[in-house]
């Protein structure tokens, strides 16, 4: 059973960004709590046997995501954060949210029946997301649709001086059991990230690009053409993130993310526009405690 402090990864999610969070780079949001899970269950998805939603106490600021053998527990998350996790989206990919959908936080606990535990364990990441999506649709009366929009983006390219990335010698564990027994030995795909920092061991550049999207508040497309795995360390001032999409001033000692990417990695963030898959929330209802 794994427990982490998590949130919909964005500069505005202060409780999440106050700490560095270790994850496996190649795994998306929900699989962070179930690393290495690949086998998909055949047949229809299990049904939630018990699901409880209640407002989170305002005085308690701790956020967590806990995946268990028979379900999940989300603590102190706003609907916006739950949507980001369920659909594997960044905040800038979700529109139509306002008021309580962004500001009010909830505790959500859901479990399958004992007869469905074996099937639940075999679910793929996408299937677990689908179960969470259905739960949000039911308990929050959530109605949404997808749209492809042309939005401002950044392209991550190699700077004129060439990349400054260190090729990684990290190795992957042959099994989950071996990885748990020797965490310092098997580091391929390991990331730590938080406010103003990204550290990856044995990661692809696309993983860096995904996290840079959180720093700049827009999608970042990997256009470097670099196909290896690298050990990457990046430190920058999160306060220097511009709101208008252009590199702006920075009053802290650390460089802006744009300067840091160039100076520390030999890469460059170039403004562009491109198609972005988005989720538009049409309506939702604030649930009563149950």
- Residue 11 pLDDT class (50, 70, 90 cuts): very low
Q: Specify the pLDDT at position 174.
A: 87
Distance CA 289, CA 5 (A): 23
Output the average pLDDT for the chain. Answer: 82
Tens of pLDDT, residues 161-194: 999 999 999 898 888 788 778 888 888 888 888 8
Phi, psi of 283, deg, nearest 5: -165, 160
pTM of the model: 0.69
Pair (155, 139) in one structural domain: no
Identify whether 133 is part of a domain: yes
Residues 171 and 232 in one domain: yes
- Among 107, 122, 143, identify where a domain stops: 143
The answer for residues whose C-beta is within 8 angstroms of residue 59's C-beta and 6 or more apart is none
Q: Could you read off the pLDDT of 109-124 as tens digits, one per residue?
A: 999 999 999 999 999 8
Which tokens sit at 288?
A: 């009563």
pLDDT of 146 above 90: yes
Query: Contact, 267 vs 224, CB < 8 A?
Result: yes
Contacts of 157 (CB under 8 A, 6+ apart): 223, 224, 267, 268, 270
Domain span at 180: 150-276
Which phi-psi region, left, alpha or beta, contains residue 87 (left: φ > 0; alpha: ψ -120 to 50)?
A: alpha
Domain final position from 109, 143, 177: 143
Q: How many domains does the chain have?
A: 2
Question: Rounded to whole angstroms, how far apart are CA atoms 256 and 240?
Answer: 5
Q: What is the pLDDT of residues 203-257, one digit of tens each?
A: 999 999 999 998 999 999 999 999 999 999 999 997 644 433 334 444 468 899 9
> Under 8 Å CB-to-CB from 115, ≥6 apart: which residues?
none
């Amino acid at each position: 059973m794994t427990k982490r402090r998590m949130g919909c990864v964005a500069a505005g999610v202060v409780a999440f960004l106050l700490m560095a969070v270790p994850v496996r780079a190649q795994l998306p949001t929900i699989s962070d709590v179930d690393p290495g899970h690949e086998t998909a269950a055949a047949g229809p998805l299990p049904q939630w046997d018990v699901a409880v939603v209640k407002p989170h106490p305002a005085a308690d600021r701790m956020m967590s995501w806990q995946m268990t053998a028979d379900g999940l527990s989300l603590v102190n998350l706003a609907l916006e954060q739950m949507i980001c996790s369920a659909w594997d989206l960044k905040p800038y990919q979700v529109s139509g949210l306002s008021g309580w959908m962004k500001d009010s936080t909830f505790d959500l606990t859901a479990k399958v029946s004992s007869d469905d535990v074996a099937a639940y364990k075999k679910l793929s990441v996408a299937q677990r997301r689908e179960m969470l999506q259905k739960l949000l649709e039911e308990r929050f009366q959530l109605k949404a649709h997808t749209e492809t929009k042309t939005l401002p983006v950044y392209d991550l390219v190699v700077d004129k001086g060439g990349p400054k990335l260190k090729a990684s010698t990290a190795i992957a564990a042959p099994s989950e059991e071996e990885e748990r027994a020797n965490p310092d030995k098997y580091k391929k795909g390991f990331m730590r990230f938080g406010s103003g920092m990204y550290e990856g061991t044995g990661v692809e550049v696309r993983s860096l690009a995904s996290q840079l999207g959180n720093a700049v508040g827009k999608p970042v497309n990997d256009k470097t053409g670099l196909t290896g795995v690298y050990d990457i360390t990046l430190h920058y001032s999160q306060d220097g993130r511009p709101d208008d999409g252009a590199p702006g001033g920075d009053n802290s000692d650390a460089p802006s993310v744009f300067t840091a990417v160039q100076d520390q990695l030999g890469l460059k963030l170039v403004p562009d526009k491109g198609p972005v898959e988005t989720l538009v929330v049409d309506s939702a209802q604030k649930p009563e405690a149950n």
